[in-house]
Copies of this chain bind each other. A is one copy, B any other.
Amino acid sequence: MSKQTLPVVDLQTAGCCAPLAVRALDADQAAVVAPMFKALGDPVRLRLMSMIASVPEICVCDLTPAFDLSGPTISHHLKVLREAGLVDSERRGTWVWYAVRPEAFRRLGALLDLPDTATRAAR
């Protein structure tokens, strides 16, 4: 399957960065993390992501008909999610199945933790 273990993906897989609200990211960290948020920044991809994440796994054939878009377009968006490291795909016979990558997903969530401090009201 996907051989593309680019340096980028390695950094993503490596634990990266305290929550945004704890310590500011440097330029390199931001360059690693931003593409993951960017991948979720399109309504179609966000919906795809939510459909994938809300079940153990799901076939492309069940994703495509939920949208008013061509197959290639859905395929393109899935590729963006894949290359961001957020989901994984596996061909089984005729169909291709997608599943969330829990580590990446969780790490992204951890970045958005807001520890009750560091808000203007609390200054």
Contact = CB atoms under 8 A, between A and B. Distances in A.
Interface of A: 20-27, 30-31, 33-35, 37-47, 49-51, 53-57, 88, 99-100, 102, 105-106, 108-109, 112-114, 118-123
- Chain A interface, >50% SS class: helix
Contacts of A30: 43-44, 46-47, 50
Oligomer copy total: 2
B43 A40 contact: no
Given A40-B37, A50-B30, A56 B109 contact: no
Nearest to A55: B118
A121 to B, nearest CB: 8
Given A41-B39, A41-B40, A99-B120, A46 B34 contact: yes
